[in-house]
Amino acid sequence: MMRAGTITASVAGVLASMAATHAPAAARWGGLIDAILVAAAVYFLIDFVLLTRIPRDLPSDHPVEGARGILARIAGSAGLVDLAAMLALPLPLLAGLPPETAHLFGMVWLLKLVRYASGLALLGRVIRNGAEALLSVLLCFVIILVAAATAAFLAEGAAQPEQFGSIPLAIWWAIVTLTTTGYGDAVPVTLPGRALAGVVMICGIGVFALWAGIIASGFTDELRRRDFLRNWELVAKVPFFHDLGAEVIAEVARLLRRRDVSKGQAIVRRGQPGEAMFFIVVGTVEVQIEPRPLSLGEGHFFGEMALITDAPRNATVVAATPCLLLELDVADFRRLSGERPELMTAIAAEAKRRLGASKA
């Protein structure tokens, strides 16, 4: 509720601040724009007051603790943004700024959206982890930039002194070319200058490809690490893995994929080839065998027989409740069989017992 209110107030407030700078819009919808700005300012005032209220569970004889708590909350990064959002409009107006200028401070409300972009924390970690590599590429960028500006000054300086008459002047051309923006306001006219421009453009693509590559691989690493930690917790919950020791659990956690299944969904179907086996972390599945279906609950596994025997699935398995499963695909199953025979022996023994039970 609060989240929807904050997003609406921020977006509406920022749009109104933008519209206020556009004279025709301000002339036509001035009243509406002002109303939105005032409503957003009131909303952020209430939001801030809610942040500073004393928690209900605090003992009444602890006023100092309460005040300290409030200060700590305001001094936190989210609290400072709330404070800035609350003051964004009233403060410039009280300071005597004309309304047209005061409206611009509404842009601060954009910051309120940051806390809802959960991916930003991930991006922050990726940039921190890849800082060294990213800084090296940035250094390459600066070296190429200065070298390109120097070469352009030498090649074009005499022909176009206004644009290339000094290295600082030529840097503008180098930035526009290296970033492949190409405004076209400074264009080399000599043969060496054009050859240089071609080289600089290609270097620019290379530098940005490197940046993108470092960030993309950082994202993949970070997501893999997050999945690994989540899987570790889940694997540790499955009793079957309890006796295996941390090393095997870590190995298995790397290979398993989490899968959420809704009630009634068929997870494997009789007669189909086996592509994966599953461990049940939460929920119950029903193995549809004759004469009556069999329930498997938390800690059990299924779908192993087709992988061991290379035969099609011998039963359909349906989720009897919403389930959280860990999926081990066939290629990883085979790899694990080689590397961790103890794990596979346990799975094979259970499969044999089940086959015996079905025949009996």
Sites of contact with ligand CMP (CB under 6 A) = 268, 274, 287, 289, 294, 302-306, 313-315, 317, 354, 357-358
Two structure tokens written together for 281: 């972390």
| CA atoms within 13 A of residue 147's CA, in its CB half-sphere | 12
d(CA 304, CA 350): 9
Choose between 190 and 314: whose C-beta lies nearer to ligand CMP. 314
- Least Å distance, CB 210 to ligand CMP, is 46
- Least Å distance, CB 275 to ligand CMP, is 9
- Least Å distance, CB 301 to ligand CMP, is 7
Choose between 74 and 289: whose C-beta lies nearer to ligand CMP. 289
Choose between 41 and 268: whose C-beta lies nearer to ligand CMP. 268
Choose between 214 and 252: whose C-beta lies nearer to ligand CMP. 252
Cis amide prior to 92 (ω within 30 degrees): no
- Least Å distance, CB 305 to ligand CMP, is 3
Choose between 103 and 313: whose C-beta lies nearer to ligand CMP. 313
Choose between 227 and 275: whose C-beta lies nearer to ligand CMP. 275
Ranked by CB distance to ligand CMP, the top (closest) residue is: 306
d(CA 358, CA 342): 25
- Least Å distance, CB 325 to ligand CMP, is 12
Choose between 81 and 344: whose C-beta lies nearer to ligand CMP. 344
Q: What does the radius of gyration of the chain's CA atoms come to, in whole angstroms?
A: 32
Choose between 180 and 272: whose C-beta lies nearer to ligand CMP. 272
- Least Å distance, CB 294 to ligand CMP, is 5
Choose between 109 and 301: whose C-beta lies nearer to ligand CMP. 301
Give the torsion sign (CA, 101, 104, 105, 106): positive
d(CA 280, CA 255): 15
Of residues 352, 291, 280, 345, the one with CA closest to residue 318 = 280
- Least Å distance, CB 303 to ligand CMP, is 4
Two structure tokens written together for 122: 């991930």
Contact 10, 113 (CB under 8 A): yes
- Least Å distance, CB 215 to ligand CMP, is 41
Q: Exposed, middle or buried by CB within 10 Å (0-12, 13-18, 19+), for 227?
A: middle
- Least Å distance, CB 306 to ligand CMP, is 3
